[in-house]
Amino acid sequence: MQDLTGKTALVTGAASGIGLGIAGALARAGMHLVLADLRPDPLEQAHAAIAANGGRVVSVVTDVSDPASVAAAGSAAEQAFGKLHVLVNNAGVAMHGIPVEQAPPEIWRRVIGVNVMGVIHGIHALLPLIRRHGEGGHVVNTASISGFFVREGRNQGGYAMTKYAVVALSEALEQETKGSGIGVSVLCPGPVRTPFFVSGTASGLTGTARADPTGGFTGRIEPEAVGARVVHAIRHDEFYIFTHANERAVVQARHARIAAALDRADALARGSNRLKPALRLSPAPDGRPR
Ligand SMILES: NC(=O)c1ccc[n+]([C@@H]2O[C@H](COP(=O)([O-])OP(=O)(O)OC[C@H]3O[C@@H](n4cnc5c(N)ncnc54)[C@H](O)[C@@H]3O)[C@@H](O)[C@H]2O)c1
């Protein structure tokens, strides 16, 4: 989607951090903005900051874990600007510092409700608004580099699980929107300087990670830089948006481990064909046994 000027974007989790960085970058690219966030006061401040730079903006207090609330944000977007073109499903909460075994069900429900169901609600209620005007558009889902591996020693399994889900949802959505003029990207940031871990603390979600507002991460970049990357990806129809490459080796090690396990399955199937009929390979395409 090359021409963003005069078109409309809706960003969830827009009152702070990465969402605000993306909203600012989209406004600078000439888009009208709908800012959606759970917290009214920071939302008002974000609204004022974008309007002060000349952006046309409306803000809607929204709980992405509530489908009706997300649908209402879509109605507000159409009421204010006529059409919706870009959807950024970005709202998210932390769940770090809690071993999987110890996290109580209500915390699982809350983090899944925001990080996974929030994205699903956006796709369900708002993607049809982009489809119906026929001018094309783009959906960006915020996952994380944690959508590709579980960082050891941080007890962030619950968080990573939700971000793996966002990567899978985005890969599916890309397949399902092919040829429709609607692009899809999955934003997979490394550490970004935002109040994420403080917000997580406020929601009671960060367990032993609570004490450290940085989440213990170094190399954090500014949300504005992430916003610029997202605008570039929308314009160039990039699917995976990474902000850091420093953990490439960890991702590669995980992929190598999976490849090795597939090799073992392959070897087992070939080597023990006679012993294990259930693993026998299907015939070759020409019908001859392999
Ligand atoms: N900060 C990082 O290092 C980092 C890295 C990778 C991915 N992320 C992801 O980026 C996204 C944004 O996080 P951030 O770092 O900007 O944090 P942030 O806390 O600054 O922003 C998150 C925003 O989401 C809002 N929000 C929370 N629950 C909501 C709900 N139910 N409905 C609507 N809004 C809600 C919060 O009010 C807040 O304004 C999240 O999905 C997070 O998982 C962050």
Average of pLDDT values for 87-105? 93
The C-alpha atoms of residue 243 and residue 235 are separated, in whole angstroms, by 17
pLDDT of 96 reads 84
Q: How many residues does this entry show for the chain?
A: 290
Tell which wins on pLDDT, 274 or 214. 214
Among the residue ranges 84-98, 135-149, 187-201, 258-272, the one predicted with the least confidence is: 187-201
With residue 177 as reference, give the H or E element that holds it: helix 157-177
- Asked if residues 146 and 156 have their Cβ atoms less than 8 Å apart, the reply is yes
Q: Is residue 185 part of a domain?
A: yes
Please state the domain count of the chain.
Answer: 2
CA of 31 from ligand 1 middle (Å) equals 22
My answer on whether 139 and 270 are in the same domain is: no
Q: Is there an atom of ligand 1 within 6 Å of 195 CB? A: yes
My answer on whether 234 and 204 are in the same domain is: yes
The C-alpha atoms of residue 79 and residue 87 are separated, in whole angstroms, by 16
pLDDT of 250 reads 97
My answer on whether 152 and 110 are in the same domain is: yes
Q: Is there an atom of ligand 1 within 6 Å of 39 CB? A: yes
Among 28, 29, 37, residue whose Cα is nearest residue 10: 37
| Closest-lying ligand 1 atom to the alpha carbon of residue 145 | 6
pLDDT above 90: residue 55: no
Q: Is residue 2 part of a domain?
A: no
Structural domain of 278: 248-290
Q: Is residue 1 part of a domain?
A: no
The structure tokens 């959606």 sit at: 36
Q: Is residue 98 part of a domain?
A: yes
pLDDT above 80: residue 210: no
